[in-house]
Amino acid sequence: MKPILLALGLISASFIARSSAQTTIASWDFEPDPLAVSLTNAVFPSSGTYAADNGGTGSLTAVHLSASTVWSSPAGNGSANSLSANTWTTGDYFQFQFSTLALNNIGITWSQTRSGTGLTNFSLRYSTDGTSFTTFTNYSVAQVSWSSTSNNIASVFSADLASVTAIDNQADVYLRLVADQTPAVAGTGRIDDITITGIPEPSTYAMLALAGAGFAGYVIRRRRR
């Protein structure tokens, strides 16, 4: 009997641990270089989307109203590449699309910096239809020097969207980093190391726990006969 009880305890402990473990949904580190050459399109890239470098099936789009925007990939925050653009105007954005099916407690971390004349004021917004967006928070981007050999934590941002239950367990979720002002035309804005995470919903592991408990119960009944 004791081995069976031990097994049940291990199942329960495993369920508790797994149900609170963060899972990477999608991430972008722009390695290798996302641009073979600089683009001069209003939409990055010319195909419209850039698949997640790691994890899931997320995609990145970046839209500027000006067709004169130049996209480039200078040094990242401790890596060889980032994604950078100039010619910003109010409403331009970086967007991340991904699925949160069977996941909740969504979070995002990213690195962001700007040039001396680059955009300072941004907002993080979310949506489940890609059309109607709600502002989660406003934030300011400082001019922080990036190097391919060292990470500068002064330009690392994070947002815990656990309170936004509307984006839990959804086939499509959109997060945008939106420009809230129009800076000098030559000013650049850069992002790197975007990671989106979630926590598996309890039901995902509860089914496994119930299955394990059911098997243990079956063994106990067999031994009592």
- For each of the domains in the chain, give its residue range(s) and CATH number, in order of start: 24-201 (2.60.120.260)
| Residue 119 CB-density burial (10 A; 0-12 exposed, 13-18 middle, 19+ buried) | buried
Residue 50 has what pLDDT? 87
Question: Is the separation of the CB atoms in 191 and 177 below 8 Å?
Answer: yes
Q: Taking the alpha carbons of 15, 19, 22, 27 in that order, is the dihedral positive or negative?
A: positive
- Contacts of 38 by beta carbon, 8 Å cutoff, 6+ apart: 70, 71, 72
Residue 209 has what pLDDT? 47
| pLDDT tens per residue across all 225 residues of the chain | 555 444 444 444 444 444 468 999 999 999 988 886 667 777 887 767 888 987 778 999 999 999 899 999 999 999 999 999 999 999 999 999 999 999 999 999 999 999 999 999 999 999 999 999 999 999 999 999 999 999 999 999 999 999 999 999 999 999 999 999 999 889 999 999 999 999 998 864 445 444 454 554 544 555 555
* pTM recorded for the entire structure: 0.82
